Amino acid sequence: MLTRTAAAMALVLGLGWSSSAFAQETVKIGVILPYSGPFADAANQLEAGIKLYMQQNGDEVAGKKIEIIRKDTGGPAPDVAKRLAQELVVRDQVDILAGFALTPEALGAADVSAEAQKLMVVMNAATSVVTEKSPYIVRTSVTIPQVNYAFGKWAFEQGGVKEVYTLVSDYGPGHDAQSSFSKGFTEAGGKIVGADKTPVANPDFSAFVQRVKDANPEAVYVFIPGGAQPAALGKALADRGLTPPNVKLFGQGELTHPEALESMGETAKGIITTYHYTLERDDPLNNEYVKSYREANNGRSPDLFSIGGYDGMHLIYESLKKTNGDTGGDALIEAAKGMSWTSPRGPMSIDPETRDVVQTVYIREVKEVDGKLQNVIIHEIPDVKDPLHGAK
């Protein structure tokens, strides 16, 4: 027997309801994020990116007012994300689904996007498979393999190491990070001498870091989600001497967020990370973005969540302009395919076949600049696609 929500959903779909059929003066965007729970900070940063874009570009596009309807998963909670997406479509009659800081929640809502034929803008969730789960999904953030496969090759060919121990969070993005970095590293000629996974929620890193120390590796590769974990893991590694110059330390960019650098102090020097956004990148557009973001957020700096939300809103606005306000899913996804623009992160575009982001991958090293530790770009790899479903 159908639940009330499912029955309503079926009725909506059966009637062929679409916002393009009933013109509205308001474009409703349902934003689904873990505003509470262990990933609340990530949600707040992404939300701040959304708000900054709207502050700078107004709340009207193609003659229609933009309305944001926010829903909290308290996640990671894929079932909750799916239920909230259904409610947004059926009860709130949103035109677009957006947000999705976490992969499980993006996957949870994907079926709703497909069935309701709603554009779904993934502003962070970074597992490769996400865009394949609905033909109406487009991603404006990053994929884990996109940055880590190239990083693995770089680590062997230019990073000066032959053996690496990997330590990642035990969920989809962590698995992607470990497999893609390892693939790039071993294909280049390197050897993985140990591999371990930590719980995704509230982990105690001490036992895991001790195992790394006991293995005495030449280098360590780390992946953990953003938020509070990078600083905690960085401190655990530093406490056991597993930071440069004792051991080469590689990781995805979350490891050296400003808060993590502050926690690790001098022991962070020499850590090398890969990322799609670097707030210190000296570019007029990025400098203005960072300045504006800090002014709007009590001095806090933007991060990967912020830029995903900011560019996600850019894609929504530009797609609506191209469709002249038509909010039908087919019209919007066609408008998004192949779109390109210059972001504070650098040049980026949407692959028309995969609906996934194409962008520059940065290799950064923590150095002291004017008496302060920061990520300094030491190598750039332009126009990188996800190697799992976007490589040609």
Count the alpha carbons within 13 Å of 52 in the hemisphere toward its beta carbon: 27
pLDDT single digits (tens) 262-317: 877 888 899 999 999 999 899 999 999 999 999 999 999 999 999 999 999 999 99
Q: Is the pTM of this model over 0.75?
A: yes
pLDDT of residue 232: 85
Q: Distance between CA 122 and CA 69 in Å, rounded?
A: 16
- Convert 292-327 to b/e letters by CB count within 10 Å (16 or more is b): ebeeebeeeebbbbbbbbbbbbbbbbebbebbebbb
Give percent helix, percent strand, percent coil of the chain, each to the nearest 5. Answer: 45, 25, 35
**The two structure tokens encoding residue 316:** 């929504």
Question: What's the rounded mean pLDDT across residues 91-101?
Answer: 98
Please give the radius of gyration of the chain, using alpha carbons only, rounded to the nearest integer: 21
What span, in angstroms and rounded, lies between the C-alpha atoms of 27 and 190? Answer: 51
- With cut-offs at 50, 70 and 90, classify the pLDDT of residue 12: very low
User: Who has greater pLDDT, 111 or 3?
Assistant: 111
pLDDT at 202: 75
Q: Where are the beta strands (DSSP E) in 106-247?
A: 119-122, 137-139, 163-169, 191-198, 219-223
Using the 8-state DSSP alphabet, how is residue 301 labeled?
Answer: P
What are 286's two structure tokens? 């990025």
Lowest mean pLDDT, pick from 17-26, 221-230, 296-305, 329-338? 17-26
219 or 226, greater pLDDT: 219
Fold of 144-275+360-384: Rossmann fold (3.40.50)
- List every span in the chain annotated with CATH 3.40.50.2300: 4-142+285-355, 144-275+360-384
In the numeric block, the tokens 């230019």 are attached to 158
Chain mean pLDDT for the chain? 91
Average pLDDT over residues 30-47: 95
Q: State yes or no: pLDDT of 227 exceeds 80.
A: no
pLDDT of 56 above 90? yes
CATH class of residue range 4-142+285-355: alpha beta
Full DSSP string of 129-162: GGGGG-TTEEE-S--HHHHHHHHHHHHHHTS--S
Residue 289 to residue 202: CA distance in whole angstroms: 32
| pLDDT at res. 1 | 45
Report the candidate in 282, 291, 299, 289 with the shortest Cα–Cα distance to residue 364.
Answer: 282
